[in-house]
Structure 1
Amino acid sequence: MERWLIAFALALGILITLRVLEAVLAHRYFKKDQVQGGLYGLIGSLVEKASTVVMAILAVFAGSLVLELPAPVDKWFSAVVIIAFIIQTAIWANELIVFALRRYQSKHDIREEGDRMTTLRALGFLGKLVLIAVAALLVLDNIPGVKITTLLASLGIGGIAVAIALQNILADLFASLSIVLDKPFVIGDFIVVDVFSGTVEYIGLKSTRIRSLSGEQLIFSNNDLLKSRIRNFKRMAERRVLFSIGVVYQTPHEKIKRIPGMIRETIEAQDNVRFDRAHFQGYADSALNFEIVYYVLSAEYNLYMDIRQTINLELFKKFADADISFAYPTRTVHLQTPAEGTGLEQTPSLTEGAESDRP
């Protein structure tokens, strides 16, 4: 009985000592991290991630050393300690991966290096997956009576049934790997999927999350996303702008000939713009139409809208100065008075003529 009390006191004392040591060290290194930075935060996180259960198992094992336990119990006790150590090591390794990703992300702009962040997150996920698999195999290998080779063989047969049951999840998993490796888009890209559009925020194992222009978060299944037609505006080197304007039919021939030159002069006066063409396109019902094409040498949407607004205002001013009127839909009605002697003098006809343009 005396040995059991000694073992209990020893285990309790070791557990309390470990807990106090954990709290003191974690506080000390986190405080240093706030002042000096560096790896002090990592050390504090590793100390904080020390599992209380693992510490309790180690304390009980240390206390049991003063006891004379039966061989089978001692064998199982040793196995439990080894398994606890493996699990604790896996927890620390996972914290190292998380710390490395967080540190890299804090020092780099996701919008500028979205492709790297996407790759690093994928590598982090694969690292965690490998870590879990290795830890699980080591745990199974240290359980008394468990033959790891037989277990792996049985898992191969059962894996087929599991794969059939989880085929949708596995499809999303492989789609996620395809997104990471092929990179049709990365974190920070602005994409359009069918009628939905937004900025990619997160590429996960099963889904991809996009922040729309109106603020809500859109969630797409990775498999469905790859089956869709995706338009990636972040990779647009330049933006092609096509628009048309119309002037009234009463515009003199000389002024019509001047209009393409006026439009070209206005567009070429803008920065970050490359003029392509301006032509008298054809005759419409109410207008003489001109078609214009130019390129904005940037993918930035706000810059594109600023340039387009400036061009529209300049064209409006130049057309007003040149006394050129913009066309808009009009309809002219001709009233015809019948000739005398036809018997229709009291019933004048109303004939709708062809459309003509009028400012």
Structure 2
Amino acid sequence: MNWEAMLDQALWINIAIVLGTTFVSYVVLQTVLKVVTYRLRKLGKGSTSGFAGMIAEMLSRTSQLLLIAMSLLIGLKFAELPLRWESAMSHTWFIALAVQMALWLDTAVHLWMDSLTRDGKARNPVTTTIIGIMLRIVVWTMMLLSILANLGVDITAMVASLGVGGIAIALAVQTLLSDVFASLSIGIDKPFEIGDFVVFGDIAGNIEHIGLKTTRIRSLSGEQVVCANADLLSQTIHNYKRMDTRRIVFKFGISYKTPASKLREVSQLVRRIIDDIEMAKFDRAHFFAFDNSQLTYEVVYIMQTADYNAYMDVQEEINLRLLEGVHELEVDFAFPIRQVEFIGGNLPEMLVSQVQQELPTTPQPSPAS
């Protein structure tokens, strides 16, 4: 052991300066971090949903080990070091800062994923998880590549090999990836969510689960329908859960024997009936067409709710009141009539056979009487 070097006064002075500066730097950084975090939380009113609250939560998760390392690097700046040590310190500075930035961004991704379910709405958990994993992979991959580049490693070949490998994997699992990206599209674009009632093709039912590859639908008849995400998005989907109102069109027929004055009263009757129902908004009622066996009326009204059962209740009430009102007007509903007209020639004779009934015989008096 080189005792002369150990007894060098300049060495111990430098060590004391490094330790003192490291301690002061750590206290200052910790104090500044706490003050800034407190101010941001107060500005964000204790919530992490806003920008200020998210930044405060990120700063609160600063690694203490990295904070000590950065304080030590600050302290080493005040000591006289060889050039070799200066170069190593510069790389260490960058590594510490890159790791801390990656930790902050990872925390931001985690907070963003939590905020998606904080409002209580039904989300696609698979899509949220996939997006979170992809963002974290990007953050830590960029951190690793930036550190390697700072250390002088040529990352061009590494990036090229990753690209070629990614293309090969994508070609091998092309069908699976198409469904995965369809799941991401469903989660981002949100054409439907869990609990929505959808109709596509000959399938109608409620969305039960949106998975990585398939979507599961509970049909009206009770069975579960499993459909690939890519196939599902390639079809036209009717989402009835997002209806605000329903436009209802129905028709009924009146007898041809009805006079024109009564026909006008029928239209007014329909309007009064619909206006009297709270959940229905009258649009129009017209004598629509001369059809076979009937004078056809077409009625349009708007249901102020998308509930199908409520619509059926209102339609039943309209039908009952319409039946009563038409009878009060002494108007008849139409029913199918078929007439046959015989032109030219003579009708054939038609014989009607009669069955002769036997009259009861009168009893003859006996000779004795």
Q: Is the 8 A contact 2:262 2:331 kept in 1?
A: yes
Q: Deviations over 1:247-303 (max 9, x none)?
A: 111112221110000011111111111100001112111001111100001111111
- Which residue in 1 is equivalent to 2:223? 216
Displacement, 1:122? 2.4
- Verify: 1:259 aligned to 2:279, yes or no: no
Q: Which runs of 4+ in 1 moved over 4 A?
A: 128-138, 147-153, 334-338, 344-348
- Which residue in 2 is equivalent to 1:122? 127
- Matching residue within 333, 337, 353 for 1:330: 337
Distance in 2 (alpha carbons) for counterparts of 1:345 and 1:181: 78
Q: Is the 8 A contact 1:337 1:345 kept in 2?
A: no
Q: Deviations over 1:16-75 (max 9, x none)?
A: xxxxxxxxxxxxxxxxxxxxxxxxxxxxxxxxxxxxxxxxxxxxxxxxxxxxxxxxxxxx
- Verify: 1:291 aligned to 2:298, yes or no: yes
Structure 2 residue runs of 5 or longer lacking an equivalent are 1-105, 144-152, 351-369
Distance in 1 (alpha carbons) for counterparts of 2:117 and 2:283: 43
Distance in 1 (alpha carbons) for counterparts of 2:268 and 2:301: 14
Q: 1:314 to 1:284 in 2, by over 3 A?
A: same
Q: Is the 8 A contact 2:126 2:212 kept in 1?
A: no
Question: Helix, strand or coil for the counterpart of 2:278?
Answer: coil
Q: Pick which of 128-137 and 178-187 moved more.
A: 128-137
**Aligned positions of 1:154-233 closer than 5 A:** 154-233=161-240
Distance in 2 (alpha carbons) for counterparts of 1:337 and 1:137: 98
Distance in 1 (alpha carbons) for counterparts of 2:126 and 2:308: 29
Alignment-mate amino acid for residue 247 of structure 2: R
Q: Deviations over 1:300-320 (max 9, x none)?
A: 111111111111111111112
Q: Is the 8 A contact 1:246 1:290 kept in 2?
A: yes
Distance in 2 (alpha carbons) for counterparts of 1:293 and 1:334: 38
Alignment-mate amino acid for residue 217 of structure 1: Q
Displacement, 1:160? 1.6
Distance in 2 (alpha carbons) for counterparts of 1:210 and 1:345: 65
Alignment-mate amino acid for residue 169 of structure 1: L
Distance in 2 (alpha carbons) for counterparts of 1:180 and 1:345: 77
Q: Is the 8 A contact 1:286 1:327 kept in 2?
A: yes
Cα root mean square deviation, aligned = 3.7
Distance in 1 (alpha carbons) for counterparts of 2:286 and 2:167: 65
Distance in 1 (alpha carbons) for counterparts of 2:159 and 2:315: 65
Q: 1:214 to 1:335 in 2, by over 3 A?
A: same
Q: 1:323 to 1:126 in 2, by over 3 A?
A: same
Question: Helix, strand or coil for the counterpart of 1:234?
Answer: helix
Question: Helix, strand or coil for the counterpart of 2:334?
Answer: coil
- Which residue in 2 is equivalent to 1:271? 278
Q: 1:252 to 1:126 in 2, by over 3 A?
A: same
Displacement, 1:154? 3.6
Distance in 2 (alpha carbons) for counterparts of 1:196 and 1:122: 24
- Which residue in 2 is equivalent to 1:70? none
Q: 1:157 to 1:262 in 2, by over 3 A?
A: same
TM-score (norm: length of structure 1): 0.56
Distance in 2 (alpha carbons) for counterparts of 1:318 and 1:298: 26
**Aligned positions of 1:1-359 closer than 5 A:** 108=120, 113-114=121-122, 117-118=123-124, 121-128=126-133, 153-334=160-341, 344=346
Distance in 1 (alpha carbons) for counterparts of 2:343 and 2:231: 65
Structure 1 residue runs of 5 or longer lacking an equivalent are 1-92, 139-146, 339-343, 349-359
Distance in 2 (alpha carbons) for counterparts of 1:265 and 1:172: 53
Q: Is the 8 A contact 2:128 2:187 kept in 1?
A: no
Distance in 2 (alpha carbons) for counterparts of 1:198 and 1:166: 30
Displacement, 1:244? 0.7
Displacement, 1:203? 1.6
Distance in 2 (alpha carbons) for counterparts of 1:336 and 1:132: 89
Q: Deviations over 1:60-112 (max 9, x none)?
A: xxxxxxxxxxxxxxxxxxxxxxxxxxxxxxxxx9xxx8xx97x958x94xxxx
Q: 1:261 to 1:163 in 2, by over 3 A?
A: same
Q: Pick which of 151-160 and 275-284 moved more.
A: 151-160
Give the share of equivalent positions with the same residue, in percent. Answer: 40
